[in-house]
Chain A
Amino acid sequence: MQSRAQAMQALFDIVGDQPVIICNGFPSREAQKIKDRDGNFYMIGSMGVAASIGLGLALAQPDRQVVVFDGDGNVLMGMGTLATVGALRPKNLTHVVFDNEVYGTTGNQPSYSRIVRLDQVAKAAGYATVERVWEREDIIYEFKHMLANDGPHFLLIKVNEQIEDADRVALDPADLTKRFRAAVGPG
């Protein structure tokens, strides 16, 4: 099984000009280390709402593909949003979940994703495409396919618990907002 950072690297190799909303905790820190870019929105708080932010952006700019990098703890906290996405069915949203089955940022306390199949929840909620993958080549194949086709898509990537040695998000949050808005533009 890969680490989240390895899987994230494979995804960033494919991401073009799509904005990426990244959930709080180590995922944002790892993304900053792997590929800092103006189109990355690093969350440092507000756990559970990465997909909600991505959904709002996708609705605001329906002609732009929006990507969310989420975690299993985050999805469990904001599970209602799977229903909102499934009901609204924005074609331009790709929801990636790195599922390590633990709350890794706070010391690897187990999450319920080892018992509850989040991909099946997303499928029941009405996402257009739902895939659960482990291997690098499958991650690449499915992510490319999702970016090229109408969504909403849900890509659950099973990863190990390894955490990358990555610094806290460097930019001031207000500066992140300015940088991201300048990159994404008013559509």
Chain B
Amino acid sequence: MAVIDSDDFVKALQDMGFDFFTGVPDTILGGIIEVLSDRRLYTPSVREDEAVAMAAGAFLGGKIPVVLMQNSGLGNAMNVLMSLHLIYRIPCLLIVSWRGFEGKDAPEHLVMGQTMPQLMDTIRIPHRTLAAETLVEDLRWTAQTFMDQRVPVALFLKKGVVKAIQP
């Protein structure tokens, strides 16, 4: 399976216009966060609800924001996504690591890992699962959905799709 280089991925996001990056780390996201931090583009957050709210503030100020998080953080962020972003029509890109995919992970990740796509469908957040083979099309869809619907858009990231620091 082809692996996306973190540097290329960040550059692709910047080329699309994304210019505000915050989040809470996960091992799957380590490589991306390292590149963002090296380029002084990343503002760490302490909780995922704070992160999506910071992204909302940045959008109100003219930025195009990205929030990186582990899928456990979607639980923390959900009320803010539902009672701020979705009703105020404030978009952001959520890059969410898919822990618990196909049940192969620690027990704490299994319920979210199984139900995440349905949860996002239920609260009407459009989502896709990123793959190296479909990267260009995935990002094109992301930009289009972000612009058209003005809501948070989620890209799910499975282990090994973007190069991490720790294998």
- Interface residue from B45, B61, B89, B90 paired with A84 (Cβ < 8 Å): B45
Chain B residues positioned under 8 Å from A64 (CB to CB): 61
Is B50 located at the chain interface by the 8 A CB criterion?
A: yes
Is A18 in the interface zone, CB < 8 Å from B? no
For B61, the chain A residues whose CB sits under 8 A away are 56-57, 59-61, 64, 184, 186-187
* Interfacial chain B residues near A187, Cβ < 8 Å: 61-62
Q: Which of B47, B49, B54, B56 has the most CB of A within 10 A?
A: B54
C-alpha spacing A48/B59, complex, angstroms: 19
Determine which of B50, B62, B88, B89 lies in contact with A78 in the assembled complex, contact meaning CB atoms within 8 Å. B50
Q: A49-B49, A187-B61 are in contact. Are A177 and B89 (CB under 8 A)?
A: yes
Q: In the complex, what residues of B have CB within 8 A of residue A60's CB?
A: 20, 57-58, 60-63
- Bound CA–CA A81/B53 (angstroms): 11
CB 8 Å contact bits of A42-67 with B (1 = contact, 0 = none): 01111111001111111111001000
A19–B57 Cα distance when bound, in Å, is 11
Find the residue from A60, A80, A81, A176 having the highest chain B CB count within 10 A: A60
The contact string, 1 if C-beta is below 8 Å from chain A, for chain B 10-50, is 00000000001010000000000000000000011111011
Q: Of all chain A residues, which has the CB nearest B43?
A: A59
Scoring B43, B61, B79 by chain A CB atoms within 10 A of each residue's CB, the highest score goes to B61
Summed over the interface, the residue pairs from A and B with CB atoms below 8 Å come to a total of 110
Give the contacting residue for A80; candidates B20, B22, B46, B87; CB below 8 A: B46
Is B47 a contact partner of A80 (Cβ separation < 8 A)? yes
* Interface footprint category on B: 20 to 34
- The closest CB in chain A to the CB of B20 belongs to A60
- Label chain A's interface by main secondary structure: helix
B116 within 8 A of A: no
- CB contacts (< 8 Å) of A46 on chain B: these are 49, 53, 79-80, 83-84
Among residues 65 to 94 in chain B, which have CB atoms less than 8 Å away from a CB atom of chain A? 65, 79-80, 82-84, 87-90
| CB within 8 Å of B: which A130-187 residues | 173-174, 176-177, 180-181, 184-187
A34 within 8 A of B: no
Distance of A181 Cα from B63 Cα, bound (Å): 11
B131 on the interface (CB 8 Å rule)? Answer: no
Give the CA-CA distance A174 to B87 in the complex, in Å: 6
Complex: chain B residue closest to A61, CB-CB: B61
Residues of chain A lying within 8 A (CB to CB) of residue B22: 56
Residue numbers of A with Cβ under 8 A of B are 19, 21, 41, 43-49, 52-61, 64, 78, 80-81, 83-84, 88, 173-174, 176-177, 180-181, 184-187
Given contacts A88-B43, A186-B61, 9 further A-B contacts (CB under 8 A): A43-B84, A45-B82, A47-B79, A55-B57, A56-B58, A57-B58, A59-B54, A174-B88, A184-B60
